[in-house]
A and B are shown apart, each in its own frame.
Chain A
């Protein structure tokens, strides 16, 4: 803008923004460290506290068929007998620089970032996570776009026509959307649209977007809509409540008094305030789902991160579970960072600093 330089005594806006961003970034990194410690504790310390020994732990890694001697040997070689901070340090170092696992007969490389090594599969976890990520990403991005657009527009219309047939119907459906579990709506939609009408793919297949966009969308449309239905319902209710609140603000009356057309009053002055809290919720919802939309992926047999985690849990493959957990934590911390920054942009009253 044309403002001639910073006001005396006040730091200029860009300076504030840079320090704000810097602080937020440092905060996010610290947060990740804390989260990684907690995750580490859950997977390594809690079983020990609960009476398990390092041998028990090792047994889980090598599988139950191994003899006790072999197990003890493995525990020693994998460092389960080292002090905890050492183990944590090694684990952290693995993420940055990679790690090696001495399995006796062979030494396996786990290149950086080493998010764990699955002894059951004899493979590092990270490449598998990378493999699954596009599936979850496709699912979540598509569903999020649908639920954001649908939820917000339905919420706005409901608020503007409060008490009308549309409002009642929309809020009734929304209540259903909020209270029906996804495996129910998912199976129902599979039965109707896929097996019954044959309109959509029955799931269990994923085509990368770049390979065949039409096929990609065709395979995902049902999971998208099912997942979006749940969230659209929540967002419609939130938007409606927010719009009812902002549309009764004094500044809406001012906007009308200026002679703005009603459309403009609603879209520019009403929606802005109503959307601010939604930004936060949206960031957190998306990031949590990015760690695996477990129910949706299981219902539609989509080979994403959520399915990966579930499969790992059933086979007791701890390193995999831990890898997904860490990745989810990373998404959440990252989303928080983004939300904080966006919030500073969206709401000018938020003081940067």
Chain B
């Protein structure tokens, strides 16, 4: 990679987890300035586990996932840091090496299955292509495999539907086909970028059920990207909360939901729709607008929107809070003292949820 040397962290200790992302930075030089879409992100994920990445629009979730798959154009993106997949480092690897892993070892499910499938080829052709690019098999064998997969993801009459074009499928079926395609080579890492956002609610639930079942069956590592905390609560073992290209809070799903420690996470929890409340009162969107990624606010990126900024003289506007271990095994980047965070959560936040 052409990344400046000072941005690249020394290799350090060998990775322990199946997927280990270390200090990942993805910057885009543009006419307006350098867009720091991802700025120092680190996390780990093991096979059989699900990591939910949540955050508002523009927080860098998709850029991160495309970065892991090596899908950024090297001409307009600067990627640095390390991505260890099963002991192999990907940021410094050759494009050809990463290409061979793509679709085979790591696969992706995109948000909008209508635009993500090529309208000019049948669903079957596209699944067959995904399989044959990594396996030396005959077309009929690949076709049988495709029909199998379509069956597995719950497409009725798969032997016939395999010859349909994407526009002949309903939205939910297209997403099932997309999932079938991503599963065609039994990937060990599966990244789903808002897999249900484009679908209506009943279909959403079906797709999530399907993904849960398939993950158990394949024992893959799953990264589930969403801005819907409800989805995360259903599926994720761990949660990573992103804000302005950084991680602000990270930990086991249970702890993050039941003892959130970061003011931004509190805001997200407050804006989570709940069925037992009236539509108007249940949504408490976070005040303010997302931060600029070109000239982010100094100090804590969240400070312009944070109700607790500078409380009791903490240096929110000047010092960047580090992501540090908090109690119950999660990590938080906030200047508020832990005791105070716990107090605010129990006294002010939890009752409103």
Contacts and interface: CB of A to CB of B under 8 A. Distances in A.
Contacts of A258: 102-103, 107, 129-130, 133, 181
Interface residues of B, number: 33
Interface string A1-36: 111100100000000000000000000000000000
B101 interface: yes
Interface of A: 1-4, 7, 249-251, 253-261, 264, 269, 272-273, 276, 346-349
Contact of A250 (B110, B130, B160): B110
A253 B100 contact: no
Interface in B90-126: 99-104, 107-108, 110, 112, 115-122
Contact of A257 (B103, B160, B163): B103
Contacts of A249: 115
A1 B124 CA distance: 12
Contacts of B160: 3-4, 7
Nearest to A347: B120
B206 to A, nearest CB: 22
22 contacts: A2-B159, A3-B160, A4-B159, A7-B160, A253-B71, A253-B110, A254-B118, A255-B118, A256-B102, A257-B71, A257-B102, A257-B110, A257-B182, A258-B103, A259-B99, A259-B101, A272-B118, A347-B120, A348-B120, A348-B165, A348-B167, A349-B165
A251 B130 contact: no
A254 B110 contact: yes
Q: Which 5 A-B pairs have CB atoms at the shortest separation, nearest pair first?
A: A259-B103, A259-B102, A250-B115, A258-B103, A251-B118
Contacts, number: 79
A1 B163 contact: yes
A258 B121 CA distance: 15
B248 to A, nearest CB: 28
Contacts of A2: 159
Among A249, A253, A257, A276, residue most surrounded by chain B Cβ atoms (within 10 Å): A257
A2 B119 CA distance: 21
A261 B69 contact: no
A143 B117 CA distance: 36
A250 B66 CA distance: 12
A92 B167 CA distance: 46
Contacts of B108: 257
Contacts of B182: 257
B305 interface: no
B282 interface: no
Interface in B137-175: 159-160, 163, 165, 167
B148 to A, nearest CB: 14
B133 A259 contact: yes
A82 to B, nearest CB: 55
A290 B134 CA distance: 47
Contacts of A7: 160
A333 to B, nearest CB: 28
